[in-house]
Structure 1
Amino acid sequence: MKKICYKKLWKLLIDRDMKKKDLQKAAGISSASITKLGKNENVSTETLVKVCNSLNCDICDIVEIINDDTE
């Protein structure tokens, strides 16, 4: 089974010297959305688009689909 992973997003924030709080403010998203992203949980595509717009990047720059080896 596949699952979503946001490691690319966190690496991008590090590269841009941004904190999660900075992203939340820049993208206009809730702290709950930041928490979900941090736990690799599902968020709405609207939220992902807001993140991409605020970072001026494409969705493939922040999200990847990986194999879930826990099964």
Structure 2
Amino acid sequence: MKISYKPLWKLMIDKEIKQKDLKNGARLSSSTIQKLRNNENVTTDVLLRICNFLDCDLSDIAECIKEN
């Protein structure tokens, strides 16, 4: 299985939040934003900061996808 942050990008569109706002509001580095864009692993601390900033749950920003 692998992780997908597609729900995060959809939620940001719905809330009209830009990536720079997420970066500043959740105190993320540019490399972390790049990892999220590429569906790479990030720490749970990062995910919790995103959830706090967006006022949402983990399931609102990430999903597990089965690999073939």
Q: Per the shorter chain, which TM-score range?
A: over 0.9
TM-score, with length taken from structure 1: 0.92
Moved >6 Å (runs of 4+): none
Larger radius of gyration: 1
Percent identity for Structure 1 against Structure 2:
51
Structure 1 gaps, min length 5: none
RMSD: 0.6
Helix, strand or coil: the match of 1:65? strand
* Alignment partner, residue 59 of structure 1: 58
- Encode CA deviations 1:28-68: one digit per residue, 9 max, x unaligned: 11111110000000000000000000000000100100012
* SS at structure 1 position matched to 2:39: coil
Unaligned runs of 5+ in 2: none
